[in-house]
Amino acid sequence: MPDHPAPSGRVVVTGIGVVTPIGTGVETFWANCLAGKNGVRKITLDDVSPFTTQIAAEVPDFEPTDWLDKKEARRIDRVITFAVASARLAMADSGIVLTEELRDNFGVYIGSGIGGLNVMSEQTKVLYQRGPDRVSPFWVPYMIANMPGGIVAIQFGLHGPNMATVTACSTGANTIGEAAHAIKRGDATMMLAGGTEASICDIGIAAFCAARAMSTRNDSPEHASRPFDRDRDGFVMGEGSGVVVLEDYDHAIARGAKIYAEIVGYGMTADAHHITAIASDAKQPARAITRAVASAGITVEDIGYVNAHGTSTPIGDPTETKALKLALGDHAYSVAVSSTKSMIGHTLGAAGAIETIVCILALRDGIMPPTRNLDNPDDACDLDYIPHVARKKELKYALNNSFGFGGHNVSLVLKKHV
């Protein structure tokens, strides 16, 4: 293989790794997702008793030493460990055998919306309680948002392009879209791409409580995340990571790789409206969807499933509903839509990656996960949101939406591999 093999112009998914509140590993996660399993609980990772929100979707029973050596696992931020775990799972799933030549053409785009917030919290306490001489020299390296991708590249010796997208809750989808472009340009033959987040700590919870953005249903955490339901009262913070192996189509075929799906469409726009609130006219999210569908070379009627951003917020859910109507027209009432945040909460910078993985698996298996807790649909959210129970349907194309603070709108279109 030459140093820069000519790209085929097609990018496929050949490996998947996930760490989520309802399961680590693709098949465990997927089975629990289809079952509508609840991942929201009382917070155990930190003392949040003074806060108005005391619930979140934590990753249970996660052991960093399963993925890193003891010394590194002890000092590294949880957000990085999640990324390493997902990357290891994705690489194993892909069956790839790394050669020195391939390492030079294998890149990593893994982003985080917030970065190493646990290290930030811990070391800030050290600074003010014990003084500057006791601050860790690893504070900055393990806090910055590019380090999950940096550490993953170090773990595997991958010398291809390495970049961290930071677009808040659109991060995971952006990294996958940009990584696909890198392969199409010929910058790499293979990429690890996705998002990671671990912000369930005192300053993370306090900050979102101050913004009054989260559910306060502390007495009933299993019912707190309820996208599109009229009784929703805010999002539930989640944590985890999703990483996929992307590969040039010709390379994947030549090595006999297992192919899950193809990345065929990518669109993004900016609201240019407000630092946190989505614009209520929904024009820019709709344009992101339209651009993704156009870049896939299909019509809106080809879309069979939408994994919605669906955060369970009063403004966000009806606005996304409006965006789908603007972009899909009459087909919006025919397409099946669901929000897996109803089960795993809002994993912030990891959300777009995990939810892209949901689309990939829905295409593979011909079954779409449900929206949990959708008991009383909001009158302004009048589409088919697959309440409660997973639904079987043969699919050819799926759409994933991700919208982030700052007005970032990202949509991806995926195609079933046959």
**Catalytic residue ranges:** 169, 309, 346
Please, which residues bridge with residue 384 across strands? 336
Task: Check if the beta carbon of residue 238 is closer than 8 Å to that of residue 56.
Answer: yes
Side chain identity at residue 277, one-letter code: A
Task: Check if the beta carbon of residue 175 is closer than 8 Å to that of residue 356.
Answer: no
- State the Cα–Cα distance between residues 412 and 356, nearest whole angstrom: 8
